[in-house]
Structure 1
Amino acid sequence: MKVLIVPNFSRADALEGARALEGWLLDQGVDVLWAHDKKLFPGVDDSAEGCDLVVSLGGDGTLLRAARIVGYEGVPIVGISYGHLGFLTAAGPEDLVATVEDALAGELHVSRRATLDVECEFERADGSTYVRHGFALNDLAVARGGAGNMIEFDVSVSGKHIDRLRGDGFVVSTATGSTGYALASGGPIVTPEFTGMVCVPIAPHTIMARAFLTSPSDVVEIEMSPERPSMRHFFVDGQPIAREKHSRGVRATVRRGRGDVILLDRSAQSFYDSVSRVFYGQVGK
């Protein structure tokens, strides 16, 4: 067997846990790989190819990095929380070895999470365009830039124009991402079994705009208005989509990804346990 360890390299306790886990795995005859520290090796792409399990040690951001590494490979991910909330993680540091042992034995609950395929179009200063693609477990966010000006954009679903909005931006999330930026923008908490998309305006300059849900087969398109060329940014799971200098985003197209991410947790009720703990006053209880 082979396990990929993805720690939060900025947390000493997560690194300590990762080293302890590596020692235990090696004693069990399990091969161990480490993801690279992105600050020291920013150009290195990690892979989960050939791995049987990926262990994330950190917060939800670290687990999202693990999901980007796995992509559509179908390698299960188990998260150990060293962060503030740990909404997506399965256990805390005190249960590290026991949780990984159960994961390797196939004794944890399997939660299949829908993903997003994101296509962002950018325009260069000379008018030519190019496209960047992204993979998301949580969301795509279109957001205003550092100048602070509102952005104006059109939202369409499967070719049907919904509205032209002004505001701080727009979030298209999975059910998994519904408890992230989408929730902070006023969207609903959605069960992981939902495989459509959650669409939420960010601080819209109208009292009419509301969050809405799509079907799994829908395609959401956000097109920036040429009449208001404000600075704007495109983010996938909180990470900016790489773009060339002196170009600007003009369109984002979002559809359901071609595969799911497999998260391991203790039971089918783990999601609601986390909802109660994090969002209904049970944090730390």
Structure 2
Amino acid sequence: MKVLIIPNHSRPDAIEGANVLEEWLEGQGIETKRASNLKRFSDEDETANDCQLVVSLGGDGTLLRAARIVGYSQIPILGISYGHLGFLTADGPDRLIQTVSDALAGKMHASHRATLDIESVFECSDGTSYTIKSFALNDFALSRGGMGDMVQFDVSVSGNHIDTLRGDGFVVSTATGSTGYALAAGGPIVTPEFNGMVCVPIAPHTIMARAFLTAPSDVVVIEMSPERPVKRHFFADGQNVRNNPLGVPVRATVRRGPGDIILLDHSAQSFYGSVSRVFYGRVGK
């Protein structure tokens, strides 16, 4: 057994929790590995392939980093909340050892969360293009650039043209991501059992555009309109999708990923408890 520990390096309490957990695990004869500080390395430098469990110590952002490291490998992730929200996490630091012990003993509920597989095409000024493949647990987003100009783009689903839209952008999310950017843009809260995608226009310049859901097998294509060549960005789980500063995003193809993320929590009803706590203000009720 080997456990990968991923703390939020900007929080001293999460670092201390990682130290405590590491010492306890090694005392149980379990090998540990700690993810590096993102200030020095990128997620591409990390791997969880030789681990059987990943423990995230931080908020939802730290858990999303854990998901990027795990990718489609379906290695279980256990989130311990040291952040402000902790919607995706299973417990707090006061139950760190007990919760990890339960996870190792197979006593936690495994929630299978659909992922996204994204292909982004960029064009350079010399006419060449390149493609970047991205993973996302929460969402893919097209966003307007720093100049604030609205973007114009076409949206198609499995070859069916939906509309040509103008606005601030577009979000394609999983059910997990429905409580993030997609919700802020006016989309619905969706149970993790839903395996399709949630598509939400961001501040569209029309009252006709509405959020819609797709089937799990659908493919969403976002094509930028050449008639409006303004600055814009593609994001996967909040990370800018670009490895060449000269490339301009022109098309994104989004489909369900080939593997789920497995989040460990206390029961199949944990999602609704979190919805009640975070979005309906039932803290302590």
What TM-score range do you get, normalising by the shorter chain?
Answer: over 0.9
Name the counterpart of 2:61. 61
Asked if the contact 1:38–1:44 (Cα under 8 Å) also holds between the matched residues in 2, the reply is: no
Q: Deviations over 1:128-169 (max 9, x none)?
A: 111000001000000000000000000000010000011100
Name the counterpart of 2:220. 220
Asked if the contact 1:121–1:130 (Cα under 8 Å) also holds between the matched residues in 2, the reply is: yes
Q: Deviations over 1:6-54 (max 9, x none)?
A: 0000001110111011011011110000011010234861111121100
Asked if the contact 1:36–1:44 (Cα under 8 Å) also holds between the matched residues in 2, the reply is: no
Asked if the contact 1:8–1:14 (Cα under 8 Å) also holds between the matched residues in 2, the reply is: yes
Alpha-carbon separation, structure 2, partners of 1:145 and 1:217:
31
Name the counterpart of 2:121. 121
Alpha-carbon separation, structure 2, partners of 1:13 and 1:160:
50
Aligned sequence identity (%) = 71
Name the counterpart of 2:170. 170
Is it true that 1:268 corresponds to 2:268 in the alignment?
A: yes
Q: Quick one: which amino acid aligns to residue 19 of structure 1? A: N
Is it true that 1:47 corresponds to 2:47 in the alignment?
A: yes
Is it true that 1:88 corresponds to 2:88 in the alignment?
A: yes
Name the counterpart of 1:33. 33
Instruction: Calculate the aligned-residue CA RMSD, in Å.
Output: 1.0
Alpha-carbon separation, structure 2, partners of 1:230 and 1:104:
51
Asked if the contact 1:140–1:171 (Cα under 8 Å) also holds between the matched residues in 2, the reply is: yes
TM-score (norm 1): 0.98
Q: Quick one: which amino acid aligns to residue 81 of structure 1? A: S
**CA apart distance, 1:284:** 6.0
Matches within 5 A, 1:205-284: 205-283=205-283
Q: Deviations over 1:201-250 (max 9, x none)?
A: 01111111000000000000000000101100000000011231222000
Secondary structure, counterpart of 1:101 in structure 2: helix
Q: Quick one: which amino acid aligns to residue 99 of structure 1? A: T
Which structure 1 segments of 5+ residues have no match? none
Describe the shift of the 1:140–1:162 C-alpha distance in structure 2 as closer, same or farther (beyond 3 A). same
Q: Quick one: which amino acid aligns to residue 213 of structure 1? A: L
Asked if the contact 2:2–2:51 (Cα under 8 Å) also holds between the matched residues in 1, the reply is: yes
**CA apart distance, 1:281:** 1.1
Q: Deviations over 1:54-91 (max 9, x none)?
A: 00000001001001111111210000001111000000
Aligned length: 285
Secondary structure, counterpart of 1:201 in structure 2: strand
